Each structure stands twice: as C-alpha cells, then as structure tokens.
Amino acid sequence: MTSLRPQASQSQPSPQPPPAGAGLVVELWLDISCPWCYLGRHRLEEAIRTAAPAGGVELVLRSFELNPGMPAAMPVLEYLAEKFAGTVERARELDGRVAALARADGLPYTSDRQLADTFDVHRVLHLARTHGVGTAMFRELQRGYFGGELDPFDPETLVRVAADAGVPADETRSVLAGDGYAESVRKETATARDLGITGVPFTVFGGKYAVAGAQSVEAYAEALRTARAQLT
C-alpha cells in the first residue's frame, strides 16, 4: 500500500492551471508508450470512479517524454533488449510480466508494438485538453496502442482518435503541420523535472502530495481519500 508524501516543490506552479471549481485536482505525469503509465492511469481512473464523489476530482494528464528525440521507430522488444534486457527473449519475458498485470486488469496488451518519439502525441493531448477531452482521447489512444489496434505515431491516426473524442480534425491537422503546443509540452516536462520527477507514472494530489509509480486501485483510492481529507 502506498502513502502520500509531501511534494518537494510545493511552490512550483502547475504548467497549466486546472479548471476553477474542480474540487481536488489530480495531476498525472505520463507518456503514452510507458506500460506502467497504462496500468497507472487505468487504476487511478478506477479509483476516482469508485472512491470520489461525482465531480469531486479533476484528473489532468501531464506530459513527460521518456525518450525525447528518439530518432526512429523500432519494435519495442528490440528497444528493451538494447536498453535493458540484453536479448529479445529476455525483453519478451520482462514485457510479459507487465502484460499479465494488464490483462488481469481487463486491459488488452501485446508486445507486438512500435516505439517512437511521443512528442506529437503530447502536442495533440494538449490540444485535446483545450476541448476538455484530453483524458478521454489519451485513454482510447493508449488502449489501442497497447492492444495492437492502432499506431499513435501515425498522424492520421491521431487525427481520427482525437476527432472521435471531440477535437475537430482540422485543428489536429493544423497542430501536427506546425509547432502548435510544442513549447507547452517542453515546459510541462521541464516542470516535472523541477519537481523532482525522474520517472512516470507520477501523481500529484492538490499540488501538494505525491505518489510515485503505478499503484493498485485500492492504494490510489486511499491516497484520494487522504488527500481530500487534508486538502479540501
């Protein structure tokens, strides 16, 4: 079971102020290609659904690039073998452990997926947040990515998934064709590092308390109850 710890840089402002009247604001730093973020986001959303009153919690997804400037897409097992595991077989074993956890949570998961630079995904997330659908868009994009159903690094896929969530397609295409929200993503990642965040998922409750790593639904629910008692 996890416990809340005071956020080290409590005076550091959030990258983008959350909506007024949102109750307890929960900020989750994550990257789309991170399997632990896939688990953590799902479990945190389940905890909010079951442990918080309707409208009492505002979940805001924040950008954190695990592999900024990755030069080219590559199979995830090859990447894991090169960086951590040594061999593809060992990489498959390591990814399989996460796969078992995901499937136990009812989430689709395949190791047959690509890894690439996630910067454009984050830029579209920022656009979707302006329409109030950032979490919904990211949820579907991440589920499809880990389920092997879509490629989030394909621009037209980003356009389609964002449109399904409620973002006009012409706005997404305009962002992807230029540098829209690029500085916002960089600032948000820099803020994370200023706060001492070195890995994701990382959850901040009310700008004051933090929980690192992918926790269980029960642990997130307990953190929510504790934060609400202390901050609201």
The model's pLDDT over 101-121, given as tens digits with 9 standing for 90+, comes to 999 999 999 999 999 999 999
Which residues belong to CATH 3.40.30.10 in the chain? Answer: 5-73+116-220
pLDDT for position 76: 96
**Distance between CA atoms of residues 158 and 173, nearest Å:** 9
Topology given in CATH for the domain delimited by 5-73+116-220? Glutaredoxin (3.40.30)
218-221 long-range contacts, CB within 8 A, separation 24+: 218/1, 218/47, 219/1, 219/2, 220/2, 220/43, 220/44, 220/46, 220/47, 220/48, 220/51, 221/47, 221/50, 221/51
Answer whether 85's CB lies under 8 Å from 91's CB.
yes
Positions in the chain short of pLDDT 50: 1-3, 8-14, 17-21
Instruction: Determine the pLDDT at residue 11.
Output: 33
User: Is there a contact between 160 and 137 (Cβ–Cβ < 8 Å)?
Assistant: no
